[in-house]
Amino acid sequence: MSVRLRLPVFMLSALAALVVGGCNIVVPAAYMLEGPPKLPALYELPERKVVIFVDDRDNSISRLALRAQIGDQAGKLLLENKLVPEVIESRSALNFARRSDKPGKPVSLEAIGKAMGADVLIYVDMRGFALSYDGSTPKPMAAARVRVIDVSNRERLFPSSGDGSVISTSETRPVSPDLYNSTTGRRAIEEGLAMELGETIAEVFYDHERRELGREMGVRVK
């Protein structure tokens, strides 16, 4: 008959400290036992059908496909984390808005949500999307404001006060100048940045590990 040895938590902590200490590496025992600390979600989404609409009034993004990619990446992560039952394709919302916008009078968010058959609309207001901060040094960065709208009741769910938005940012380390200076490479960097921003937006709604600011971007040239 096998015997399973169970040690108290304080003994495990002490053992972890001894083992790590023998390697001349200082790591909190709690980190080893529980993993890195997580940042809490800022808002818990209702379990209802969602559409993510990525707006870009300042035309900071060169291609409509990138806006769809941001929304779809965020939606994919919401589904993977089982936060909502269904996410409607972002491109459908973007196409509807383009058809419905009038000069000086953009279609309302509620109208977009209703047209998509969504109960909740996550509004992403782009505040910046650039591959360089000075026009020559390749360092992609993006920023957006996020809010959540109850489509049926025509009310804002998140945030409940303030300017009606939370800044969500994504910044990467410098990328290769060779990649930055080619058309194919720049498109690949844009797509990588869109994916990073989509992930950052989704993290507003679930607990997640703190990621290193300025982490290296994974870019593949197709």
pLDDT-derived band of residue 86, with 50, 70 and 90 as boundaries?
very high
Q: How confident is the model at residue 209, as a pLDDT?
A: 85
Q: Express each pLDDT in 103-158 by its tens digit.
A: 889 999 999 999 999 999 999 999 999 998 888 888 899 999 999 999 999 999 99
Q: 129-161 b/e with 16+ CB inside 10 Å = b?
A: bbbbeeeeebbbbbbbbbbbbbbeeeebbbeee
Tokens of 25: 């590496």
Checking if the pLDDT of 6 tops 50, the result is no
Predicted pLDDT of residue 162: 73
Nearest to 174 by CA among 189, 184, 188: 189
C-alpha–C-alpha distance, residues 73 and 77, integer Å:
6
First to last CA, the chain: 57
Q: What's the rounded mean pLDDT across residues 7-13? A: 41
Structural domains of the chain sorted by starting position, each given as residue range(s) with its CATH number in brackets = 9-36 (no CATH), 39-209 (3.40.50)
Which tops the pLDDT comparison, 78 or 218? Answer: 78
pLDDT given for residue 112 in this prediction? 98
- Please list the residues that pair with 55 across neighbouring strands: 125
Helices (H), the chain: 9-22, 29-34, 64-80, 90-100, 109-115, 177-180, 183-202
Contacts 24+ apart (CB under 8 A), 180-183: 180/131, 180/132, 180/138
DSSP 149: E
d(CA 114, CA 130): 32
